[in-house]
Amino acid sequence: MCGITAYVGDGQAYPYLLKGLERLEYRGYDSAGVATVNNGQVQLHKTPGKVEQLKSTVLPGKIGISHTRWATHGPPTKDNAHPHLCQTNSIALVHNGIIENYAQLRGQLQEKGYTFKSDTDTEVLVQLMNYYYGKTYNMEMALRKALHDVVGAYGIVAFHKDDPRLYAARKGSPLVVGIGDNENFVASDPAAFLDSTRRVLYLEDEDIAVVSKNDYEIKSLCVGEEECVHRTEESIDWDLSSVEKNGFEHFMLKEIMEQPESLKHCLAGRIDLTTGGIKVTIDLPEHFVKRLSKISIVACGTSSYAAYVGKYLIEKYSRIPVEVDVASEWRYKNPIVGPEDLVIVISQSGETADTLAALREAKKQGARSLGVINVVGSSMAREVDSGIYIHAGPEIGVASTKAFTGQVVALNFLALRLAEMRKDLRHEEVLLAIQELEKTPELVTSCLKEAPEIKEVASQIKDAKSVFFIGRGVNLATAMEGALKLKEISYIHSEFFPAGEMKHGPIALLEPGFPVVTFVNKNDPMYEKNLSSIQEAKARGAFIIAVADHVDAVLTSNADAILHVPTVPDILQPIINVIPLQLLAYYVALARGCEIDQPRNLAKSVTVE
């Protein structure tokens, strides 16, 4: 993985390819490369490092492919960077995904006389295509035969020096065709070509696309090679300003500050304060919802922490037992689900490989599925039985911010709607909850005004070796997310713990100056216990940072820093309390000089297992 962009048209390909790669830099990468065809010869330029280094050379040609790579097989070297060429320098290929049986295929090709320049699984694929092209002299057939041999996930774009078309294929890694005038595109993300066209067509698993400058055909690996399949053209409704910084130093800061607006979009059209109704449609039969005895929520990373908030809300309103699992574990543990169960998947991109695989496992076992997703048209969005979009808009920063708060709002809607359908809440209780939800954009705005004070606190912990985040109840999920934000962009080791577990081991690590972040909300039923946890840590000399909605003598005598938030009910606390933690992580990383939007070793959407 990470970013693919390809062009065929009347224009010179190289400028389009470089611009596309720059649009995809947010996904993270460690090397980059471009290949074009000019006068029947493949032109290639690859480099470890940044896309900027590709600008030293301009490759002529009206067809080309390009790629930014996060290393999975082999280190980030020039030879391992994509595109890869076959042994005869006639086929060039870029690839996102992992070919699981590449070592076996590599051995078979070596026995046939093929030699390899790289350590990658991708070079195996292009050499395999070359082998079959030598037997068929047909690119589509060579691609088909090669893909029938491989085991794994892929998003592929390739060309042959004697064929003016792009050949793309997808299985488990997203690809989208951009449809222009006398030019067409293929990319892993429509942001790559959005300044040229908004007309798109999303490929589905086991699709093959043959794309010329004026036309395209979509076929399937599962049917005969002459038979085309229908895929619906769509129009992208967001603009380029969504994927630009617009004056902010980093995308992460921009997206933190966008949250009042992104939450308004999430709320829009879903609340009727006059009747006290929730206008959220869940395409699940009422009899099924009323009989629900168990729900599983499956997700990865930040989305899995939002899942714990969903668990809290559903169990609070409907008393349905909810299990939360990391997708990479759930899919392999022989999950106990069936036709009477609901499996909820949460993903910003809708393409997270492990979550998508878990969804497919759930469907295979007959369970009904529901998605909480940001990206419209994504694989998960198409495959779930029902879903709720969070409408956060494109999220570019690798560290998720506005997606988390949008997911929590959407999960509030979901929990309330399930409770309505099951008659678990009175109308007055639902009305009260949606009145509180309606206030979230304004409340988040008030939290963002505390940024200068939070920046000062960040300066006091920027040199810490480790930080603890502790919480109880619904704020345990907030502690999880706070710890993740700090570690992924500042590279400071950070861990979360249930506050009550401190005395069962973690407290042994506390020493003078050790930062501990916690939550003190006055209307929290565990308020007194939270104060006790603070006092325990303070007695060991810890540097206490309290996210608090009030100030009193007990708090000021124990907290070294207070991050102020408004008073809200428990259902909104993860949304409100996470805002100062997002800003804290950002300002700590800024003070440490870290690469905030592209932290090392991380990618925005993890589309390989």
Known catalytic residues are: 2, 604
* Contacts of 424-427 spanning 24+ positions with Cβ under 8 A: 424/317, 424/318, 424/319, 425/317, 427/276
DSSP 298-359: EE-HHHHHHHHHHHHHHHHHH---EEEEEHHHHTTS-----TT-EEEEEESSS--HHHHHHH
Q: Tell me which residue of 70, 82, 89, 72 sits closest to 45, measured CA to CA.
A: 82
Rounded to whole angstroms, how far apart are CA atoms 465 and 493?
6
Is 197 in a helix, a strand, or coil?
coil
Is 602 in a helix, a strand, or coil?
coil
DSSP 98-142: EETTHHHHHHHHHHTT---SSS-HHHHHHHHHHHHHHHH--HHHH
Q: Tell me which residue of 363, 371, 379, 368 sits closest to 298, measured CA to CA.
A: 371
Q: Tell me which residue of 280, 281, 385, 299 sits closest to 342, measured CA to CA.
A: 385
Rounded to whole angstroms, how far apart are CA atoms 309 and 411?
8
- List helix spans (H) across 392-551: 402-422, 427-437, 440-448, 451-461, 475-490, 527-539
Q: Are the C-beta atoms of residues 122 and 146 closer than 8 Å to each other?
A: no
Q: Tell me which residue of 131, 166, 159, 161 sits closest to 145, measured CA to CA.
A: 131
Rounded to whole angstroms, how far apart are CA atoms 159 and 436?
55
- Whose tokens are 């990206």? That residue is 375
Return the amino acid letter for 172. G
Q: Tell me which residue of 177, 138, 141, 137 sits closest to 157, measured CA to CA.
A: 177
Rounded to whole angstroms, how far apart are CA atoms 5 and 155?
11
Rounded to whole angstroms, how far apart are CA atoms 495 and 483?
6
